[in-house]
Structure 1
Amino acid sequence: MDANVYIAEAQAIGHGSVRLFASHRFDVGPAPQWNRCPLTGVLAPARAAHSISITDRALVGDIKYVWELNRHLHWVALAQAWSLSGDARHLHALEVQLRSWLDQCPYGIGPNWTSSLEYALRLLNWSAVWQLIGGLASPLFVGAEGQALRQRWLDSINLHVRAISKHFSRHSSANNHLVGELAGIFVAAQTWPMWTSFEALAKQARLELEREVLLQVAPDGVLREQAFEYATFTFDFFLAVERAAAAAGEPMSQAYLARMQSMCEFTAAITTVKGAVPQVGDADGAEAFRLDPRPGRDCFAAMQQKGAALFGCEAWLPREQFRRDDVAWLDFSADGARSVKGRDGLAQRKLDFPDGGYFLFGRDLGGSNEILGLVDAGPLGYLGIAAHGHADALQVWLSVGGLPVLIDPGTYSYWADKEWRDYFRGTSAHNTVRIGGVDQSLSGGRFMWTRKARIENRSVQRGLGGSFRLVAEHDGYLRLAGRFRHQRRVRFEPLERSLLVEDVVRGRSPELVELFWHFAPGWSAVLDGNQVLLSRPGQALTLRVEADVPGRLELLQAQTNPPLAWCSSAYNEKEPCQTLRWSANAAQVDLKTLMTWPGDVDRAGRCGEDR
């Protein structure tokens, strides 16, 4: 651990520069205007929270940025810098921000009291700060003014806990929000045990968390929200609770720990040798807490590193350059969680995740010549609204030599213009078939699907040498007048170095049928007849499309009306990507997409002949 990293970050915060999300910094001042959106500059009104529309950009700006600042992840860096250096300037900077927040954000007033999950996230970060600065005996609370500040903070903590307990996310919204809210209450009760009422709230939160981990995480480790990055966010809630329970001498159950371990196993399985992970479902850069202040955080690598420490599985450790300092600030001395299943992570790497609906294929997994692919043949999302799922049924993702080639373009933004939200979560942004110009599932809003495509008739076969067959179809287009069905057959032949995807579309009357393939930035794509030549330094692949009806094959990039051929690697960031689209008006069509590569990728990154 390099103390200078923490001190430099604390100095920047003290001067008013705060990092939000992965790497963007905003000048918010030493004592920020906490109700002002850092992105748009809009100052939300200081009125009752229940009267504020968080979707009104003219009123609140981009609420994600308001909330991100007010989660106070950056306060942890101030506390860390003080604990490492003893420099009172860092403690003073924390005091200035704490006082200003308590002044500007009284209970129930303003945009920072519009979400129970946000209360919980503040509590998690306040807990870390409280412990780092010395708790009740902290120098921050010396003297009459310090004691008054401590009491104001404790009063706010009490109000946060009580507000959450009255406004849990229930029913169709009982997803990661509910887990976070329960985690906030449980951790708060362990950190500030001065209220007798907290004991009962914590006991109930623990019971619910034991239930929710089994409901929200499938037995194979897939988060049922069908959003891979959200799994890392939710894992940190489960981890915060597990660490607090272990420290109190009352560990969480073996069933709870087993689901956490399964989450790590799934994430390890979908991570390429170079650390890439498919961007399936929503992703918003959210962190439950931030213990490493360096920018460019890899949430999947951080999760694997914490999982490796918790369960004693070194096989999960990410490559050295992706490792973070998070685990240095967490006490993993209690070993009750380790070896829950007695498995050695990647040594027994799984490929089939039938509960979550993801199936992997490849060769030389973990090696320099790695081919790793994924087929999405699972449900749209969790509960009735499936809030964070995308209309991506039967999409295929592929990496070669650890680098993505066929990609899921990601999320971009929740609160940008609706057409961008609809595009990134829609079918045309995924490597699958769209019919009639509409998504497989029917959207009811930015975080709601009112009619969900269902996967049917799924079968998977595996052969010697890593060969792979999958057949599945979905019913998403039965709602169209033509009553369409889309069946996809995926065949991977490692010895032949080929991936064949066959799409069978059957309907009663003609509609626009489109097939999309999205290529990762960094690859050069050249359309030559009915094939695309893909290349990047040291690598070359060919993708060919054949159809039994005449159609149009085109290579697109950065269209805006409507949006098409874009990708997003981080929240609120987007860039062009080349996208191949085949289209035709037809009632029935058989499509074949064949991808081949001429040889392995050797350790120097060159594409060569078989050796």
Structure 2
Amino acid sequence: MPGYRKHFIAESANFRRTVLRQPWRWLHYAVSLALLVFRRISQTLRLRLRKEAHRGLKQWPEWLDSKPLPAGEPQPLRFPSYAVRGADSRTAELPPVFSAPADDPETALAHHRFGYCLAAVLQDKAAAQRAARQVAAWIGNAPAKSEPAWETYSCCERVVNLAALLAIHPEVQGEIDPEKTRAFFADSLQWINSHLEYYGMARTNNHILNNARALVVAGSVLGVSEAVERGLLIFTHMSRSLFLPDGFLRERSSHYQWIVTNWLFDTLHFARATPALAAAAVQALDELSSLSRRVAQASGALAASLGDAATHIGDISPDAHPALTLERLRSLYPEALTTPSDVPGRMDDWLLFSKGADALVVCGFPASYPIDYTTHGHSDLGSFIWMHQGQPVLVDSGRSSYAANATPRIQCGPQGHNTILVNGVGPLAESVLQAGRWLPTPYAKAHIELAMTAGGFRMQHDGFARMAGVGIHRRTVQLADDGLIVEDMIEGVADAAIEMFWHFPPEFAPDDKNLTCIAGAGLCLTVESGAADARWQAAPFAAAYGDEQAAPALCLAWQVTLPCTIKTVFRVSPCAE
């Protein structure tokens, strides 16, 4: 694959040309950049002045009561039971919890998050005993609170993973000293409460929901109803912003959709087991119950569209293999994946379309770009996953790692998706700074439209208009009886270099004798495009965090005079045995 730097250089060069053509905007851009630099310097100084470990830029939510949480009265710990289905039969079927390289920071954090408990909750007593003994060893030699293991998110994962293990396998509770178990939950509860990952409404992401979940779980286990109430109030308040009306998390990731669905149903399960909740907590619980029905429909529709396919849109969480995330939902909370009678079509910014043996999955964007909040989405406007007879044919590259190296940058960029580039830049502006993220407007501003059609979907945007002489881009994707038809129309009055990428699963292999053919999983495909240049490349593909496979990607290129229309036809048939 071409290096990601090529696209950064093209974006930066185009911005400089745009600025030179628009001297009346120089002051505006200079002020915007100065404010960005000022914020960075200010944040750096604040971080240096804050001596307390893991305090960072966290702040107490201005809408939340700051009354200290009580320690709770000594009483037996309570772990609400589950009706786990077929736990003893799943030992050999579950994927690994974590498989990143040893030098990936997430590898060490997985141990401190009790990731081994995730699989153990769905396995037999022996697996649960091994996990409980690992927890006991960790508690007996816990790291100092200045260590990375005590960052709030990791602390929350520990609390819930252990509580779920002991709730589902009560027979292993004796593997950990009861007083040490109590002290673990009590200490973790107070730590999380004093280190909430809140940075203001605009800069707070899904982590705050994990904080809320952990407060509810620890509070329920310890019998501290005030903690349960606080967790419910936080989850309710933040979910109004973080979830969209139809139940999708706004962060544009299929895996994180299922991750946070687990969090929501964990919260409900432990909160409902807590007696004598205050009126505010009961009201919040009712609101979350209503939210859970919408989220279950969204997560269920997404699972029905993708099945157990090893391709995922947006970032992939390091906390669990996507297959394990889904299996946990199916086993612990079968109601969390509502199976639709038919594919619902448009839900929030997602489009789920099926016709016969084929399905399309699209994660769109809000109507206006840049997005003013953090997401786990990628630069993938116009991209989609194509499933044929339950088999992925066109895939998303996923994300192998959160490390700042070339592979994840390729996977997150437009060249890692089934999309189009004009003069080396993607449909939407990327940062014009290498160190930091700066999307200056109006340069980066774009308007986006996404709509279903009778046979697929239609997308339109003006993101390419940041280049002189380039106008609106329209992409129409239609399922056909024997494949797929993609039509790209680009308006403008300039000469342009067009690149188009098509990503196939790792098990597919191009035909050495015919550049337009590829086969795999019992399917044969031909790609008709009329491209002046067509070449196959090895692209990085991830089915889970830590996974990195070489997958075939077809790169098509044209030199055109705008306006132009490019039609790409995919024909699929069973391979001859």
User: In structure 1, what is the equivalent of residue 68 of structure 2?
Assistant: none
Shift of residue 129, structure 1, vs aligned partner: 5.0
Does residue 268 of structure 1 match 2:252? Answer: no
Shift of residue 164, structure 1, vs aligned partner: 2.7
Change (3 A) 1:411 1:585: same
Shift of residue 538, structure 1, vs aligned partner: 3.5
Shift of residue 527, structure 1, vs aligned partner: 7.5
Give the secondary structure class of the aligned counterpart of 1:121: helix
CA deviations over 1:343-386 (Å, ceiling 9, x no partner): x7332431222x224241321xxxxxx21123443339996243
1:347 to 319, 327, 341: 341
CA deviations over 1:522-546 (Å, ceiling 9, x no partner): 22323777x7223235422322113
User: In structure 1, what is the equivalent of residue 553 of structure 2?
Assistant: 579
Give the secondary structure class of the aligned counterpart of 1:415: coil
In 1, the alpha carbon distance for the partners of 2:185 and 2:456 equals 58
User: In structure 2, what is the equivalent of residue 410 of structure 1?
Assistant: 398
Give the secondary structure class of the aligned counterpart of 2:262: helix
User: In structure 2, what is the equivalent of residue 461 of structure 1?
Assistant: 453
Structure 2 residue runs without a partner (length 5+): 1-85
User: In structure 2, what is the equivalent of residue 450 of structure 1?
Assistant: 439
Counterpart mapping for 1:3-14 below 5 A: none
In 1, the alpha carbon distance for the partners of 2:158 and 2:371 equals 26
CA deviations over 1:527-566 (Å, ceiling 9, x no partner): 777x7223235422322113xxxx53322222xxxxxx22
User: In structure 2, what is the equivalent of residue 284 of structure 1?
Assistant: 317
**Paired residue type of 1:24:** S
In 1, the alpha carbon distance for the partners of 2:551 and 2:129 equals 48
Counterpart mapping for 1:478-493 below 5 A: 478-493=465-480
Structure 1 residue runs without a partner (length 5+): 10-18, 26-37, 41-61, 288-294, 317-343, 364-369, 463-467, 559-564
Shift of residue 506, structure 1, vs aligned partner: 2.3
The answer to whether the Cα contact below 8 Å between 1:220 and 1:266 also exists between their aligned partners in 2 is yes
Count how many residue pairs are aligned between Structure 1 and Structure 2: 478
Does residue 164 of structure 1 match 2:239? Answer: no
**Paired residue type of 1:456:** I
CA RMSD of aligned residues (A): 3.9
Shift of residue 89, structure 1, vs aligned partner: 8.3
CA deviations over 1:387-441 (Å, ceiling 9, x no partner): 3111111113211121111111111111151x22221110011111112223323
User: In structure 2, what is the equivalent of residue 543 of structure 1?
Assistant: 527
User: In structure 2, what is the equivalent of residue 30 of structure 1?
Assistant: none
The answer to whether the Cα contact below 8 Å between 2:209 and 2:235 also exists between their aligned partners in 1 is yes
CA deviations over 1:130-183 (Å, ceiling 9, x no partner): 657879x957437xxxx5x45753563244233334x43543432211111111
Give the secondary structure class of the aligned counterpart of 1:577: strand
Change (3 A) 1:98 1:557: same
Structure with more relative contact order (C-alpha pairs < 8 Å, separation 6 or more): 2
In 1, the alpha carbon distance for the partners of 2:369 and 2:218 equals 30
The answer to whether the Cα contact below 8 Å between 1:78 and 1:90 also exists between their aligned partners in 2 is yes
The answer to whether the Cα contact below 8 Å between 1:219 and 1:259 also exists between their aligned partners in 2 is no
Give the secondary structure class of the aligned counterpart of 2:244: coil
Does residue 556 of structure 1 match 2:536? Answer: yes
In 1, the alpha carbon distance for the partners of 2:108 and 2:154 equals 10
* TM-score, normalisation: structure 2: 0.72
Does residue 432 of structure 1 match 2:428? Answer: no
Does residue 521 of structure 1 match 2:506? Answer: yes
In 1, the alpha carbon distance for the partners of 2:256 and 2:128 equals 36
In 1, the alpha carbon distance for the partners of 2:554 and 2:122 equals 48
In 1, the alpha carbon distance for the partners of 2:495 and 2:339 equals 49
User: In structure 2, what is the equivalent of residue 325 of structure 1?
Assistant: none
Shift of residue 272, structure 1, vs aligned partner: 4.8
The answer to whether the Cα contact below 8 Å between 2:155 and 2:188 also exists between their aligned partners in 1 is no
Give the secondary structure class of the aligned counterpart of 1:39: coil
1:206 to 232, 244, 248: 232
User: In structure 1, what is the equivalent of residue 77 of structure 2?
Assistant: none
Does residue 95 of structure 1 match 2:136? Answer: yes
Counterpart mapping for 1:306-321 below 5 A: 306-308=332-334, 310=335
* TM-score, normalisation: structure 1: 0.68
1:473 to 460, 470, 478: 460
Identity %: 18
Counterpart mapping for 1:52-201 below 5 A: 62-75=104-117, 84=125, 93-101=134-142, 105-107=143-145, 109-113=146-150, 115-128=151-164, 131=167, 138=174, 140-141=176-177, 147=179, 149=180, 153=184, 156-165=187-196, 167-193=197-223, 199-201=225-227
Shift of residue 2, structure 1, vs aligned partner: 6.1
